[in-house]
Amino acid sequence: MLPRVFAYSSNHAAPPNQSSRTPPPNNTNAKRQKLLRYLTKPYAAPPLLARFPTLHLAVRGLLFLLAAILSLHIFMEYFYTFISAWGISMLPTIASSGDWLLISKYYRRGRELGVGDVVSYKLPLRPGEAGVKRILGMPGDFVLAESPSKSGSMIRVPEGHCWIVGDNLVWSRDSRIFGPLPLALVTGKVLYKFSWTAWWNRIEHGLKDAEEVDYDVD
């Protein structure tokens, strides 16, 4: 007699594998891709802006305008700027009016500056205003505290400062009035000047090394 075999089947399905579930889509990446597609492709506007073409163009124009303003601000703050000069304190190097100056912002805060360089700076006595003068002394140098015709007293430029004067000594408000200028107030170095009569001219080193002259006395 052969044994009988019984089979048992369950009506309950096995629970699904929890680890096989797909993660929800990343909405952040999707939004980022939509914004990038909108900025690079004019015709890929969001549904709301696609219904109003004028609004679409206005929004795109505003975005490009803001980008241009930001780029111009960064360029003029950290690279180069172009300003007009006025005043007689730097005659004859810079005219009292009509000259435009190209200033490199690489040299701001005294970076790689030396005696003889023409720099732009923030006026310590007038907040919000700027000036242009020539460096006569760097930290540690001894300079005349006043004009040569008035006194022969010397002063040593302290650390973190420079001594600036105008080429037109008689009509210049400079370190002889407000003392050593903090290098933190230096905003750049003047490289070129432009005018409608002389076009581009490089601002040269205005000082010369002292020479010993031996005069024959009869």
Asked if 99 contacts 90 with a C-beta cutoff of 8 angstroms, the reply is no
Cα 110 to Cα 74, 120, 170, distances in angstroms: 19, 11, 26
147 belongs to the catalytic site: no
């420079």: which residue's tokens? 162
List the catalytic residue out of 105, 120, 133, 175. 133
Facing residues of 135 across strands?
Answer: 164
19 belongs to the catalytic site: no
The helix or strand, by DSSP H or E, that contains position 102, with its residue range, turns out to be strand 97-104
Cα–Cα distance between 195 and 213 in angstroms, integer? 38
List the catalytic residue out of 9, 34, 41, 89. 89
Catalytic residues: 89, 133
